[in-house]
Each structure stands twice: as C-alpha cells, then as structure tokens.
Amino acid sequence: MRSRDRRRAARLAARALLCTALCSSIAVAVAATARADRYIGVGGGVAIPYDGKVGWSVNAETGRSLFGSKYLRGSTEFEFRRQQAASSDTSLSYDVPLDEYHLRLMGRFVFAPGGFTPYIGGGGGLSLLHAGATPTIGSEIGLGAGLVALAGIEMPIIGPRVVLYGETRFGYTWDLTGEFSHLAPGGFDGFTGVGGLRFWF
C-alpha cells in the first residue's frame, strides 16, 4: 500500500473511532438521564405478633411506577416471617413456632419523589402457614389470606437509582383452612419493622 493510501486509511479509521465514541457518549448520557420506572428491592426486619414472641422477616419485591406517575407505585412481593405464636389455650406456658410465606400485591403513594421521600401504602395476598410441633400437637400446614397497611421513608444513597428505605407495617392474616385452632388469632401477624434497599432501572 502506498504511503498516501495508508494515511487516508488512518484518517478514515480515526473518524470512525471518533464517531463511535461520540455516539456511545450520547447513548450513555441519554440512559443516565432517562427516568427509571422499575425497581427490585430486598429487605428484612423485626416481626412483632399481636400474641406471641418477637421474630424476624425477610422480603423481596419487584415493582414499577403506575400510569406514568412518579407518585404511584405497584409491586409484587414475597415475605417470609418466623415468629413464636401464642397458643389459644392460655393455660399453656409455651408458644408455637410459626413460619409464614406471604405473596402479596402492594400499592404505594409517594408524597415527594426524588429525595427524602415519605410514602404510605397497603396490599394483600395469600399465605402458606406452617406451625411447628408442640408438646401436645404435631406440626400443621394451612393456607391464609392477609392485608397489610404501611408507612415508610426512602432516601437515595447512590444517585436516584439506589435507595435506602424503612417501613413500619401493620397487618393481619386469616386462617382459611381451619387448621390452627390451637393458635391465638393474633399470633399470625402484627407489626413489622422493615429496612432494605431498592434498585431502580
């Protein structure tokens, strides 16, 4: 290849690289400023049943903005709770080990999106309930349904895409299968304090 042809090829290659870099920069800038309307979240906290001993919970969720509004959100969440539920027989001195697996649809209203953000919400769903064995009765499995009301606060920690949150929840779960007559009705649910992270994309 002659020297002139080599110089021309080098100029074309340099222009192609410059154009590629410019287009990539524009794409990155657009992606960075585009509004994220979906998120996933993970968290955990303390479970305080109405009747029983303090336990713990973990949850995972996926959600998004609703109707194009930054004030409304909907999500699907899974929560696992482990606690000690009180027996319905008040003469007994022991509590019943109880595991709860909740699948819920949730909605939240956000008051001031974009910064230190308070919100309220609620939802409901179905539950798989497992009461462990006690000195007087074997382990049992049944189905439940429940409602949850909540109030929370969010705070961005890495730009707007990574958010720290904390929630106080008030809920109740009903035994649908009648398998848990030996448990106090308030032993299924109660208050939960939850904290975690949400990742917007």
Give the count of beta carbons closer than 10 Å to the beta carbon of residue 175. Answer: 18
Q: Is 91 helix (H, G, I), strand (E, B) or coil?
A: coil
Give the count of beta carbons closer than 10 Å to the beta carbon of residue 105. Answer: 12
Q: Is the pLDDT of residue 151 over 60?
A: yes
Pairing of the two strands 117-131 and 162-175? unpaired
pLDDT digits (tens, 9 = 90+) for 109-121: 999 887 899 999 9
* Separation in Å, CA 123 to CA 7, 64, 94, 195: 68, 15, 32, 18
Q: Let me know if 100 is exposed, middle or buried by CB neighbors in 10 A (0-12, 13-18, 19+).
A: buried
Q: Which residue has the higher pLDDT, 139 or 74?
A: 74
Q: Which residue has the higher pLDDT, 137 or 99?
A: 99
pLDDT at 176: 92
Mean pLDDT, range 158-174, rounded to an integer: 94
**H/E element holding 5?**
helix 3-33
In whole angstroms, what is the distance from residue 117 CA to residue 139 CA?
A: 43
Sequence-distant (6+) residues with CB within 8 A of 155 are: 115, 116, 117, 163, 164, 165
pLDDT at 124: 97
Pairing of the two strands 117-131 and 95-110? antiparallel
pLDDT at 159: 86
Contact 74, 46 (CB under 8 A): no
In whole angstroms, what is the distance from residue 118 CA to residue 123 CA?
A: 17
Mean pLDDT, range 18-35, rounded to an integer: 44
* Separation in Å, CA 113 to CA 17, 31, 66, 163: 40, 20, 14, 12
From the list 9, 42, 11, 34, the residue with the least C-alpha distance to 159 is 34
